[in-house]
Amino acid sequence: MNKRRQRKKRLPTQAIELDIQRLSHDGRGVASINGKVAFVAGSLPGEKVSARYTRRRSQLDELRTEEVLASSAERITPACEFAALCGGCSLQHMDPAAQIAFKRAVLLEKLEHATGLTEVDIKPLTTLCADPYHYRNKARLAVRFVARKGGALVGFREKHSNFIADMNYCSVLAKEVADLLEPLRRCISGLQACDNIPQIEVAVGRISTHNQVALVIRHLLPLNDKDLAVLQQFGDQHLCDIYLQSGGIDTVIKHCPEDEVQRLYYRLEEYDLSMAFHPMDFTQINSEINQQMIPLAIQLLDLQAEDTVLDLFSGLGNFTLPVATRCKQVVGIEGSEAMVSRGQENALANGIRNATFFTASLCETITGQPWAGQHYDKILLDPPRSGAIEILDQITRLGAEKIVYVSCNPATLARDAARLISQGYRLMSAGVIDMFPHTAHVESIAQFERVG
C-alpha cells in the first residue's frame, strides 16, 4: 500500500503541452512524449492541449486535458454541464458527425486488419443515427451518501475516478429518468438506510400513450417500514415502478405499485408487436436505433416467405419475432432460460406461431441439439462483446446462404468475419449503428453471403 502511494506521488504535478495526432479506439487523443505514447482524455486530433498526468506505465502514459490551447474544428460545447466530470460520456466535446466518422474508421480499420479486405471491397451501409440526447433507456446508477456533499449522490462515476459525479441531471438518460435524478438524491438522503444503498438500476419502457420507468434499488441491509413507505410515496408521486434487490438478480421483487405486473413494454410498430420485458432483462439501450436496426437486419437477410431462419443469441425475441412476420419459420437460441421464457411469452402474447425458442450454450458443441440438425436458409447473429467464434465453424455447416451479424465490438466482429470468410462466406457490406452517441462504443452490422 505504501509503495502504491509513493508511486502516485511520483507523477509530475505540472501540466504539459501536447500536440494531439489522432484518436485511439477508446476515444482518447494520442500524443507522443519523448517518443512514448500518451493517451490524453478530452482531446481531439489536431489540437494543442495542456494536460496533466493521471497514470504512468512503462509503455505508455495517461493524461487528462486541463485546457485546450488550440482547438479542433470538430470541437463543440457539450450540451451537458457535467460532461467534463461525468464518466457516462467520453465524446460530448466532439461534433456528432465527427463521432460517426471516427466510429466508421474504427470499424473499417478492424475489418481491414483482420480480413485483408479494403474499403473498396466492403460495401458501406448507411450509418443508423437518431437523436443523440436522452436516448438511454437502461442504466446502472451508482449511489453513495456523502455527508460533506449534503446527502446522497446518484449518477455515473467520475472520469478517471471511482467517485460518483455530483450531478443532478443527465442529457443522455431518458428524459423521464434525467428529471428524477434530483428527486432521487433527496429521497435517498432521507432514508435511514441511505448508507446501505449502492446502486439503482434504471429501465424505461416506451409505449404509445406514455413511457414507463422502473427503478431497481439495491440495498445491503433490510429496509425498515418507514423507508419502504418513503419509497412507495416516491413511486406514487413520480409514477414509476419501484423494485427492491437485496442480493443477486433472483432477489429482485416489486415493491410498488401493488400489482402483479412485473413487466415493461416497448412497441415495434412496423411489425405490430408489443415486447414485454422485466426491468432486469437485457434490452437494446436506444429504442430509436432499435426501431431502425431491426428493419435493416431483415433487409440484409433478404427474407423470403419460405425461409427458415436461425436467430442466435436471441434474447427475448427482439429480432426473432419481427423476422417471424416475414418468413416461414424462425428458431431462436439463447443461453439464458429466463430470456428464452420471455421470448416464448412474447411470441404467445403477439400470436406468433412460427417462432420456436431453445435454451443452449453457444460456447459449446451444438451436436445433438434438437434444432441443429436441419437446414437454415438465413442466420442472424447478435452475440455479446466476446463475439461468436466458438459457434462459427458449426453454423457454417448448416447451409445458410446469408448471415447477418450484429456486433457490439468491432474487434470480435473483425475476428469472426475472418473466420466466416475462411469457411466459404464473402463479406458483402458493413456499417455503423450509433447505439451509444457521445461514447467510443461502436455497434455495427455486417452481411455475409455463401460463395458458390
Catalytic residues: 408
Beta bridge partners of 245: 218
Pick from 380, 377, 362: nearest CA to 445: 380
Give the other-Cβ count within 10 Å of 37's Cβ.
Answer: 15
- Taking a C-beta distance cutoff of 8 angstroms, is the pair 94, 414 a contact? no
Q: What is the DSSP letter of 303?
A: -
User: Rounded to whole angstroms, what are the CA distances from 114 to 111, 117, 364, 403?
Assistant: 5, 8, 24, 18
- Taking a C-beta distance cutoff of 8 angstroms, is the pair 341, 263 a contact? no
d(CA 420, CA 435): 25
- Taking a C-beta distance cutoff of 8 angstroms, is the pair 197, 188 a contact? yes
Separation of CA 332 from chain center? 21
Crossing angle, helix 225-238 and helix 181-189, to 10 degrees? 160
- Taking a C-beta distance cutoff of 8 angstroms, is the pair 142, 155 a contact? yes
Beta bridge partners of 268: 273
| 132 cis-preceded (ω within 30 degrees of 0) | no
Pick from 396, 384, 390: nearest CA to 314: 384
Start-to-end Cα distance in the chain: 62
> Phi and psi of 414, rounded to 5°?
-65, -45
Give residues with Cβ within 8 angstroms of 56, minimum separation 6.
10, 11, 62
Give the other-Cβ count within 10 Å of 422's Cβ.
Answer: 12
- Angle in degrees, CA 60, 61, 65, rounded to 5: 145
Phi-psi region of 366 (alpha: psi -120 to 50; beta: other; left: phi over 0): alpha
Sign of CA dihedral 83, 85, 86, 90: positive
Query: What SS3 state is found at 178?
Result: helix
d(CA 98, CA 27): 12
Kind of pairing between the strands at 199-206 and 138-146: antiparallel
